[in-house]
Each structure stands twice: as C-alpha cells, then as structure tokens.
A and B are shown apart, each in its own frame.
Chain A
Amino acid sequence: MLDPVTLAVIQAGLQQVCDEMDLTFSRAAFSPVIAEADDRSDGIYSADDGSLIAQGSRGLPVFVGVMQFSTRTILERIRTGQTAAPDPGDIYIVNDPYLGGTHLMDVRFAMPVWRNGAIFCWLSNTGHWPDTGGAVPGGFSASAISAEQEGLRLPPVKLFKRGVLDTEIWSIIRSNIRVSEQRIGDVKAQASALLVGAERLTALVDRYGDAAVTACIRAMRSLAARQMRAMIALVPDGTYRAKAFVDSDGVVNRPLEIALSVSKHGDDLTFDFSNSSPPCMGPMNSVRATTLSSVYLAMRHIFPDVPMSAGAFEPLHVTGIEGTFLDAQYPRPVSGCAAEVSQRIAEAVFAAMVQALPDRVTAAPAGTSGNFGLGGHDPVRGSDYVMYQISGGGYGGNSDHDGLSNGCSTIGISKAPPVEIMEQNFPVLYRRYALHEGSGGAGQHRGGFGLDYEIELLRGEARASFVMDHGRTGPLGAQGGKDGAVNRVEVIRNGTVFVPPHLSKAQDIVLTAGDRVRVRTPGGGGYGLPENRDPDLIAEDVRLGRYTAEEARALWNWQG
C-alpha cells in the first residue's frame, strides 16, 4: 500500500526526470527549431502498452500524449517481429506519421530503461528536425500531394545499438536530408537527453524501490483520470457543437470543415468529428495520433492543473474521425497537421467548450503558426539560405479580461526571433514590426492584437512560401463577441500588390531585390457582447491608436 506522501514525492520526481530531459535536449541541440523554439518533447512511457506516465512541462504542447502512440506502435511491432527486439543501450528512431506520429519533420527516439534484465519503462522524445528531405527545404510543401514529396520516412529502426551509433543507418539518413553537417549534433543531443533521463530515473527507482515506483505509476494514472473526471463534472450535461474551417489544403482552393459535437455523459466527454471534410489532396490532412493529441492539448489549456498522464485522457473519447481528413492514411500528405490543422481542432474544442464553461474557456486565439519561409541565394555571402518567420497573433478575450497581443500559437511555447538576429543572418530588411491595429475581435473583452510586419528582400533572388491559416475567416468570437481580424498576406513586387489565391497558403513565389512581403496576423476573437464593454476602455484603445475612432464607432457604437 502506497502512502499518499510517497506518491506525491515520486510523482514530482518523475516529473523532474522529464523536465531535465527537456532542458538537456534544448541546451545541447543545434537546430534553432529545438534550441530556441523548444519544438521538442520528452516523456516516460509504460513498458506494457506505451501509455504516457509523465511528460516534461516545457515540452511543445502539440506533443501532449503523441509519443504514447509511437511508443505503442514500436511495442506492437516488436511483439509481431516487424521490428527487432531491444538490447540494453539500443535507441530506436522513427518518424512515420502513420505509425503514431505527426509530420515527417518530428523525429522520435525511444529507449527502454532496464532493471534487472527486464524493461522497466520507455523513455521517448521528439525533436523537430530542420529538414528530412522532400520537395522543399524544411518539409512544408504547401502543394505536396503525397508523403514521398514531404521527405524521408523512417519506420522504427535501431539508430543506436548497445550504445553505439549505427553509422550505416546514419549515412542513409544523412544522404537524404539538407544541411546535414550539424545534424549529428542534434542526434547526439536527442540521445543525450534520453541517457540523462535514464540515469535520473534509475537513481529514483534505486532510492524508492521498484515496487513503490511501479505502484506510484499505477496510482498516478488513476488519480489523473479521477482529476479529469472531477473537472468534467463542472460541465453541464448536454451536447455542444462548433465548427472550424481550414482556409484550404493548399492545392484545392476550398475550405476544409471540422464539425465537432462534444457530449457529456456521466463523467466522460465524447468528441465526435463525423461530418468533417474527407481527406484532402494537399498537405492539410491530419493523422490519428495528432488529432487525438490536439483534443488533449485543447483540454489541457482549459484544465491546466490536471497532470499529463494517460489517465487524464481516459475520460476523453474521440470518435467519427475515420474517413475524414483528421485520420488520413498513407500516402496522403500531412505536413500541415502539426502546425495548422491541430490548431483548428483545438479551436473547435474551445468554441464548443466555451458554451459549457464560459468562465474557463476563452474566445478563439489566432491559431496559426504563421509560417513564412524564404529560400534563396545571397550573392554577397555566396551561400544559399532558408529563413523562417514564424509569427504569433492575438488571443481570445475571456470572461475576465482582454486577450493577450502577439501570443505564441496554441500548440507552441517558443519565443520569436529578434528582428536584429534575422537581419544579421538573412539578406532582408524589416520595414515594420508593429501591432496589427484594429485586429482584436470586438466584445465586452476584446481579442488581443496580431502582428503587422513587412520584410524587404535586399539582394539576390528568393522564393517565398506561406503556410498560414485564418485568411478566409477570423478566429471565432464567443458569447456574443465578434471574430478577430483575418490573416492577410501581400506580396509587393514592382509596386503592385499580389494576394495569393489561397490567401494564407502559397509556394515558390519568386522575389527579387526590393520586393516586399507584408503579413498581418489574426487578432483574437472577442468575448461577450460589445455593448457591455466599459466605454473608458474603448476610449483608451482609441487614444492609444489600437483602433481608429471610426472603427470604434462601428464595432462598439462608440459615441466618442
């Protein structure tokens, strides 16, 4: 029988093992996507079924629960002989989206932790590699129509055998990815995080004993389930419906619909996505693991205190995704699933749940990663470059206050790179980096403001690509609040303004020196009826130039 104190102590200990893995991975990584943007996650998984035991608190939110699906796949494949069984010191690598993954760029490592000759549990981490091959640098091809165009696909194989890097497998990988010189640094950082985790976990188990830790893991799972159920109990019985739209799949210029109905019965919630759009031709498909994780992540934003463990997910049932673009099968392209579709799924969950829990859930946040990629040749440096500008947007208003401006995407936690660093590294000049004025959705508590930036290409020729969303419709308002402003992309060439036909998605737009790109990211949705807003706050926003007086009159019927 485990006493509640030892339970809490071991739980905190397991959490810390994960946090240290996160820290080690980021600090040792080379790719700025991991080192700066924290586009990675680490966790501990059950030896029986791969279910989540604990996950690092500074992992990228989109990975909530994801690695339990890939770990489960590895276990099943080992059981059926499709993948070789592990020896001590072995580390598997896998990035196949259809085997419990996200997109190809999210590369997973998994390693068993051994006790007395048996597997005690698994450690796994995911890191977003800057490139895994495919049609375009970085992997985000807005016009891919099959997985092969998106990059190299790895089934679970042992990259490290008994602690030693398999140079043959590594040489195959290296020959298929761009800018491969520094990737060995990332591989070692990713493996080092697992080794640090194994060391800390072993010390913890040595201290408290195998039996106590095993009992604690079991108890944590049922406690997390109980805690999620206690939260669900706050939801009034009923069914809550919402719709969210992806602008287009990048290939066919037609919106994709996420149709969600959330029903509460007993202490469980069922998220039914049937009637959502069928699989699409372009890369805006999602895979099962990502769709489930997106629901989990949205619920964690709503109930941040429930610990991340498989138990927390037990009362959440996702149905009706078969045959929709939320459960795409090979060879459907999926590069947009982690960055964009996941956020539309979360938005649908927020929009449904805010009806049930108006004091806990916000109006919709900007909900796009705002990926603007620029690849070209710098004639002064004599080298090729690939630049990414990932942007935030406004958050939704809530029952207590206005939304935050320029917040990170729903699925991210990273910091934006400074303009000065971007200009040091790439042949571009920012003409403006400002609040997207007027973008916050009107309401009693308005949405936060998006970002308004304009970048000029200084020299050479380059190709611009955009993988964004909310170009057609703005982030949803709630409880009578208005939608936030849409995402706007403009390419200014020789003084003429070009707006991409898909609005938020485009690929390979050729730019020459002096051409400019202007992007205005979405504002957050407003919360509550605009007529309930304190007139002093409206006047303050006008005084600070956040809205023009005309906008304030139109949106709030302001009399000033």
Chain B
Amino acid sequence: MAGLVAGVDVGGTFTDLVIFDPATGAVKLAKVPTSLPNQSHGVLAAFEAKGADLSSLDLIVHGTTTTTNAVLERALCRTGLITTMGFRDVLELGRRTRPNAYGMTGRFTPVIPRDLRLEVPERLDARGNVLVALDEEAVRKASLQLLEKGCESLVIHFLHAYANSAHERRAAQIAAEVWPNPYVTMGHALLSESREYERGVTAAVNASVQPLLERYVLRLADQLAARGYQHDLLVMNGNGGMVSARTVSKEAVKTVMSGPASGVMAAVATGRRAGMLDLLTYDMGGTSTDVAMIRQGRAPVSNEIEVEYAMPIHVPMVDVRTVGAGGGSIARVDAGGLLRVGPESAGSTPGPICYGRGGHRVTISDANILLGRLPVSRFGQAVDAARVAMADQIGTPLGLTVEQAAEAVVRIANTHMAGAIRMVSISMGADPRDFALFAFGGAGPLHAVALARELAVPRVLVPARPGITNALGCVVADLRHDFVRTLNRPLDSVETGSVHAVFAAQEAEGRRLIAAENIALTTVRAEFSADMQFVGQTHLLRVPLPNAAPTRDDMQRLFEAAYHARFRVDLPTIRANLVNLNCSVIGERPEMDLSALIDPSGRQPKAVPQGTRPVWFGKWVETPIYWRDHLPLNLQLPGPAIIEQMDTTVVVEPGCLVTSDADGNLIIEVGHA
C-alpha cells in the first residue's frame, strides 16, 4: 500500500478534497465551490487546486449528492412502471398520510406519474402461489408503450414478489428484449420484504436515478483516467460503505443520503483512534443539524428511513436524524409572545443579516456574532444591521437587551438540538453520561459545549478538521454489504439450522462481493443481528448476535434483555417472534494516520492567544482568541476561550478544560457549573 488515497465529497456549498499519504501520514486539503448541475467540474477543480498527480493515487473515494438532489428536487429520469392489474395507483396513494399532524393540507408528487404506470394481468397470493399467470404479451406491449412515451428506465413491481420473484424475473426478461439499455429494476431485487408501497418507491427511485448516476460516475471515472488515475473509482453508499463506480448504479438508490453517512463514518474512525467508542455525532450546518448515536465504535444502520414526506427508501442507511436548526434558522417572537427559532431558514441566500447579502430576519448566526462568538472579521459585514434587527425583532417585544435577546436565541436553538439528540439517545435507553459529543460542521463546535451541558454529556470532541469531515469519511470508510432475510415466524418454531444456513449464505455472498472489489484490506468481518418482537407486536427491536450460530435460547435471552433495556418491561408469558435475519459483511481498510490533518510544523510549543475580544457568557468577558493550527499537542487550556480555524470556530465556556490528543483533536471537559 504505497500510493496515495483521496477522498472527495460534494456538499451543498463546497466540494472538499483530502489526500493522504499512508507512508508518511502527510495530508493535502482542498476546498472549492460545488459545481451544479454537473458536480464533476468541482471534483476535478479540487484536484487541480492541489496540483495533484492523479497517477500517484492508489484510490479515489467519492461522495456525491447526485442522487440525493435528484430525489429531493424530483429532477428524475423519465421512468415507467409495469405492475399487477388493479394496483398501478399504489405509488400515488401512499400509506394514507398527511405531511403534518395538524393542518389538512399538503402536496405529493409520485415518483412515477400516472400515465407511465401500466398494469398487466398476473397475481400471486401472500405465499407466492400463482393465482393468475403472467400475461407475457401484455408485458411486451406495455414495455413498448412506455418506450414510445419516452421512458429511459423501467420498474417491474408485482404484488408479493418478495415471496416468489418468478413473475418479476420473467417480465424483466421480456422487457429486456425490447429495452435499449440495462435500466430495468425489479421490485424484489433491492428489498425482498412485504409492503408494496415501500418496496415500490425504493425500486422507482432506483430506476429513476440510475441513468443519472451512471452517466455521472462513468464520465467522472473517464475524466480521472484521462488525467492519469489508473485504478477503480469508489463511490460512497448511504450505509457508510463504498462500492465500485462500475457497479454502483445497479443499486443507485443506495447512494441516496450518503453525505451524512460519510460524516458518521469519519466520527467512528476519529473516535476509535481517540479511544472514544461511544459518540453522539452533532453536525450543524447552515440550514439543518444531523445527529446520530455511535455505540461501541459502530455506526447505526436502519432499513426504514423516510427521506422526506411519503418517500420511504428501505435500503440500509446510516440512521441520521435531521432537525431544522442551522446557522441560518430564523428567530421570531410569535403571536403569543414566545420566542421561537426555526424551522424556517434564511438559507445561504439571502442568509443571515450579518453576511450583508440582503437578509433581514434575525438568525442563529446573527445571535452568535452579536455575542462575540463568531469573528466579525470573517462573518460581520453587517453587524450593525444585525444589532438593530435583534433589538427590533426580539429584544423589544420581549423586554430584553440586545445581548440578552441574542443569548435567548442561542439557548432556544440549543434546546431544540438537544431535544433531537435526546430522541436518538436517551429515549432509546442510552445514558448520555457515557458518551462524548462529536461536534462538526461549520457551526457544530460553536454550540457543542452548551449542548453538552444541556445533555449532561461530560466531554466534547472537536476533530482536527470539522469542516471536511465528509471527505474524511470517504477516506476512512470500509467496504460494506448488508443483507436482510425475512422469516417472520415464532422463535420456538424456527429451525436453528436454517438460521445458521441463512447467515452462512449471507456472509459468503458478502465476502464474494468484497473480494471482487480488489481493494487492499486488513480484514473482512461479518456482523449478525436479528429483528425481533413479541408475537402480536408490529414494531421491531434489533438484537445484535455474537456470532452466526446462535441457539434459540441465545436469541430469546438477548431479545428479552434488549427489550427490558429499552422499555423496562418483562413479558415472560408471551412468545418471541423472529422477523428478520441481518448480516453485514465489512471489509476493513488499513487505518489512516490522522495525526497530520493539522500540519504539525505549524504547532507552537505553548498556547499563545492571538488577541482577545469581548464574548458574552452571561456578561461580557474579555476572552483570549487562539488559532487552532498553532496549538500544541500537550494542551491544557481553561475556558473561557475562543479557538478559530479555517473551517469553524470553537466556543469554550468558562469552567471547561481543553486538552488535545495525538491527532490534534480537541477534547473539552465540560464543567457542569
């Protein structure tokens, strides 16, 4: 493993590049504006900005928002559906919901419009028995009709195909005879579970982003090759693993929401090196905040994520929750006289008032700058306007001074973000005192200490480069394949041998796929879990299993313990149900040396402030300002302090103590004053 490894991540505003030299630990970083709609210009520009010699790179891992953006903006390829007679409207009817509990309004646009959804005679029952044979001629006609209507991709989605896929496979064969490209997705192929809406939407999203993703990654791979890169381009998936650009578009839907997953993977890797395996990740950006809970160095993965209203994408994804609070979130006093922050956002245009780009409503960033927490030199083009607005919009209605009003805005925002973190941690039975808060994103380190206080989390970890965490995630991520097999039977009627056989088959398939990728790995390991419930319940509890050969007693015992930990309820008289068997096969890549993310040559022997400025901690306190890259590794810095760096600002409140580890991560012990 001699060559360099590059991670390149496309975000909403910036494209970030990090290049590692595993031999020396040397690091190169680049940040360039994201190019839209074609993200590859920005990617290539990032390499050019560093004058990188692509022929010296052994591996490029890429995180792209191509599919995420296409889904959220419904900028999808024209896609047709062939489905069971009587069921073409499933994709439009959804699960009978509305966007909000209160307010009888809402809009919904199905992924595939009604005139491109065609029905053919065929029908299976719930056990997979054929009730109506597949009308092959009808499939042929429907395929031609959809081609005539200009469809580029095709979905074949039949009722109960999870129980018997023969009709879907045969229909796909027939369609392939006339379809001019390989963009044909079968419903059962991505997820073989019951629930026709979720399975159908997952397949429809896959088909309708497939051509986009394939064109994008293949073109990018060609461009990289033309510049001398000689290896496979790898692409990040939403499960926190990566796959080859050659095959990624076959299951294109798995790349949706891969950005937040990369951030969590970076947190896992950073935490592991820092000896912190239990982390609450907290990524605060301009419009929203993403949170996740990492336990024992493992990222949480869920198969049941709804990426927006009525858009369930049921493939394994890192379980990241989003709340509408970011630097641009708008603060206001409501009709009852109560202060509210978000979810409305000023976004990046016009943005906060202080940016001086025409924003006129008070935001969280305005509050931070008025409190001295953000440097006026970088963000304060219009501080005076922000002060006037803070007084008019918040201070006067509430009878507060400008500082008190700004402090109130920050506190309310913190309360909401703390609530989101509680919902992924405390409410799942975890004790926040066992965790560290991993703060990243441009605004995370600004609020992290206050949030940790609110949550009783004892320490905050601010990684070396909080603003390029996703690109770092690309570099450190593993290869990963997830498998789910549905049994849905009472545990005491399940043959232990069949459980072991399922796990063995899943593991073998995962190892085969990983071997085919031809990437340097230190080890390949498999993780096993079971989704269980008591007979009669509908919700599932995921129970990690120690190995691929658990006994029934093991599963019963582990399930009961997990259930008690979550709900504090014992139900000894009710039987357990075994619903899904899950296996994740993970190819671990060699650990990256992260110690040079901050250039060691810039470190000074002692922490010397660059200056001071007044910062509001309940009152104005003249606070020392440090430059992150100059701080020594044997740091012992008491709060209050402000630590600035290119990509973020860290606020250290009075009563806290900041130390540093060997990688230059800041560890802030939160004084509970």
Provide the residues of chain B in CB contact with A304, threshold 8 Å.
Answer: 100, 102-103
* Most B Cβ at <10 Å: residue of A391, A433, A435: A433
**How distant is A447 from chain B, measured CB to nearest CB, in Å?**
11
User: Is B335's CB under 8 angstroms from A435's CB?
Assistant: no
Partner of A35, one of B195, B336, B399, B537: B537
**How distant is B157 from chain A, measured CB to nearest CB, in Å?**
12
Partner of B89, one of A8, A300, A410, A433: A433
Provide the residues of chain B in CB contact with A305, threshold 8 Å.
Answer: 334-335
**How distant is A369 from chain B, measured CB to nearest CB, in Å?**
11
User: Which A-B residue pairs are the 5 nearest by beta carbons?
Assistant: A227-B336, A230-B335, A392-B96, A416-B96, A304-B102
Provide the residues of chain B in CB contact with A184, threshold 8 Å.
Answer: 571, 573-574
When C-beta atoms are compared, the residue in chain B nearest to A419 turns out to be B196
User: Is A432's CB under 8 angstroms from B86's CB?
Assistant: yes
**How distant is B452 from chain A, measured CB to nearest CB, in Å?**
15
In the complex, whether A413 has a CB less than 8 A from a CB of chain B is: yes
Known interface pairs A5-B411, A185-B571, A416-B95; A433-B90 also in contact (CB < 8 Å): yes
Pick 10 A–B contacts, CB within 8 A, sort by A: A4-B337, A5-B412, A8-B411, A29-B537, A182-B536, A304-B103, A305-B334, A435-B93, A543-B115, A544-B115
When C-beta atoms are compared, the residue in chain A nearest to B131 turns out to be A429
Measured CA separation A9–B450 after assembly (Å): 13
Within 8 A of A (CB), among B300-357: 334-340
Q: Mark A367-400, 1 if CB is under 8 A from B, else 0.
A: 0000000000000000000000001100110101
In the complex, whether A434 has a CB less than 8 A from a CB of chain B is: yes
In the complex, whether A162 has a CB less than 8 A from a CB of chain B is: no
Measured CA separation A184–B571 after assembly (Å): 8
Measured CA separation A407–B309 after assembly (Å): 13
When C-beta atoms are compared, the residue in chain A nearest to B95 turns out to be A415
**How distant is B126 from chain A, measured CB to nearest CB, in Å?**
4
In the complex, whether B74 has a CB less than 8 A from a CB of chain A is: no
Measured CA separation A162–B571 after assembly (Å): 20
User: Is B415's CB under 8 angstroms from A20's CB?
Assistant: no
In the complex, whether B113 has a CB less than 8 A from a CB of chain A is: yes
**How distant is B619 from chain A, measured CB to nearest CB, in Å?**
15
In the complex, whether A472 has a CB less than 8 A from a CB of chain B is: no
Provide the residues of chain A in CB contact with B568, threshold 8 Å.
Answer: 192, 195-196
Within 8 A of B (CB), among A2-25: 4-5, 7-9, 11-13, 16, 19-20, 23-24
User: Is B93's CB under 8 angstroms from A230's CB?
Assistant: no
A-B pair number, CB within 8 angstroms = 211
**How distant is A124 from chain B, measured CB to nearest CB, in Å?**
19
Provide the residues of chain B in CB contact with A29, threshold 8 Å.
Answer: 537
Known: A30-B536, A184-B571, A435-B89. 4 other contacts (CB 8 A): A8-B340, A223-B338, A420-B160, A433-B87
Known interface pairs A404-B106, A433-B93; A545-B114 also in contact (CB < 8 Å): yes
Measured CA separation A26–B538 after assembly (Å): 10
**How distant is B76 from chain A, measured CB to nearest CB, in Å?**
17
User: Is B114's CB under 8 angstroms from A401's CB?
Assistant: no
Within 8 A of B (CB), among A210-247: 223-224, 226-228, 230-231
Known interface pairs A185-B537, A405-B92, A416-B95; A410-B337 also in contact (CB < 8 Å): no
User: Is A227's CB under 8 angstroms from B338's CB?
Assistant: yes
What is the interface size of chain A, counting residues whose CB is below 8 A from a CB of the partner? 85
Within 8 A of A (CB), among B553-581: 566-569, 571, 573-574
User: Is B197's CB under 8 angstroms from A418's CB?
Assistant: yes
User: Is B96's CB under 8 angstroms from A226's CB?
Assistant: no
In the complex, whether B447 has a CB less than 8 A from a CB of chain A is: no
Known interface pairs A231-B335, A418-B196; A413-B101 also in contact (CB < 8 Å): yes
**Which positions in B face A, CB cutoff 8 Å?**
86-90, 92-98, 100-108, 113-115, 123, 125-126, 131, 159-160, 162, 194-198, 334-340, 398-400, 404, 407-408, 411-412, 415-416, 419, 422-423, 427, 534-539, 566-569, 571, 573-574
**How distant is B262 from chain A, measured CB to nearest CB, in Å?**
28
In the complex, whether A188 has a CB less than 8 A from a CB of chain B is: yes
Measured CA separation A32–B419 after assembly (Å): 27
Provide the residues of chain A in CB contact with B571, threshold 8 Å.
Answer: 184-185, 188
**How distant is B327 from chain A, measured CB to nearest CB, in Å?**
20
User: Is A406's CB under 8 angstroms from B94's CB?
Assistant: yes
Measured CA separation A74–B185 after assembly (Å): 58
In the complex, whether A431 has a CB less than 8 A from a CB of chain B is: yes
Say what secondary structure dominates the interface of chain B. loop
Provide the residues of chain A in CB contact with B539, threshold 8 Å.
Answer: 26-27, 35
Known interface pairs A300-B102, A423-B125; A16-B96 also in contact (CB < 8 Å): no
Measured CA separation A11–B338 after assembly (Å): 10
Partner of B567, one of A189, A405, A414, A423: A189
**How distant is B71 from chain A, measured CB to nearest CB, in Å?**
20
Partner of A61, one of B101, B334, B534: B101
When C-beta atoms are compared, the residue in chain B nearest to A228 turns out to be B336
When C-beta atoms are compared, the residue in chain B nearest to A308 turns out to be B102
Provide the residues of chain A in CB contact with B398, threshold 8 Å.
Answer: 4
User: Is A223's CB under 8 angstroms from B337's CB?
Assistant: yes
When C-beta atoms are compared, the residue in chain B nearest to A29 turns out to be B537
Provide the residues of chain A in CB contact with B93, threshold 8 Å.
Answer: 405-406, 433-435, 451
Measured CA separation A11–B415 after assembly (Å): 10
Provide the residues of chain B in CB contact with A224, threshold 8 Å.
Answer: 336
In the complex, whether A430 has a CB less than 8 A from a CB of chain B is: yes
When C-beta atoms are compared, the residue in chain B nearest to A26 turns out to be B539
**How distant is B381 from chain A, measured CB to nearest CB, in Å?**
28
Known interface pairs A61-B102, A415-B95; A421-B336 also in contact (CB < 8 Å): no
**How distant is A521 from chain B, measured CB to nearest CB, in Å?**
10
In the complex, whether A463 has a CB less than 8 A from a CB of chain B is: no
Provide the residues of chain B in CB contact with A30, threshold 8 Å.
Answer: 534, 536-537
User: Is B195's CB under 8 angstroms from A544's CB?
Assistant: no
User: Is A419's CB under 8 angstroms from B337's CB?
Assistant: no
User: Is B415's CB under 8 angstroms from A9's CB?
Assistant: yes
User: Is A434's CB under 8 angstroms from B88's CB?
Assistant: yes
User: Is A16's CB under 8 angstroms from B422's CB?
Assistant: yes
* Most B Cβ at <10 Å: residue of A185, A391, A543: A185
**How distant is B146 from chain A, measured CB to nearest CB, in Å?**
15
Provide the residues of chain A in CB contact with B573, threshold 8 Å.
Answer: 184
Provide the residues of chain B in CB contact with A421, threshold 8 Å.
Answer: 194-195
In the complex, whether A493 has a CB less than 8 A from a CB of chain B is: no
Provide the residues of chain A in CB contact with B106, threshold 8 Å.
Answer: 395, 404, 407
Measured CA separation A392–B422 after assembly (Å): 33
Known interface pairs A192-B569, A227-B336; A362-B86 also in contact (CB < 8 Å): no
User: Is A362's CB under 8 angstroms from B102's CB?
Assistant: no
Provide the residues of chain A in CB contact with B419, threshold 8 Å.
Answer: 12, 16
Provide the residues of chain A in CB contact with B423, threshold 8 Å.
Answer: 16, 19-20, 23
User: Is B567's CB under 8 angstroms from A404's CB?
Assistant: no
**How distant is B488 from chain A, measured CB to nearest CB, in Å?**
8
Measured CA separation A24–B566 after assembly (Å): 9
Measured CA separation A506–B163 after assembly (Å): 36
When C-beta atoms are compared, the residue in chain B nearest to A196 turns out to be B568
* Most A Cβ at <10 Å: residue of B115, B336, B411: B336
User: Is A415's CB under 8 angstroms from B334's CB?
Assistant: no
When C-beta atoms are compared, the residue in chain B nearest to A406 turns out to be B93
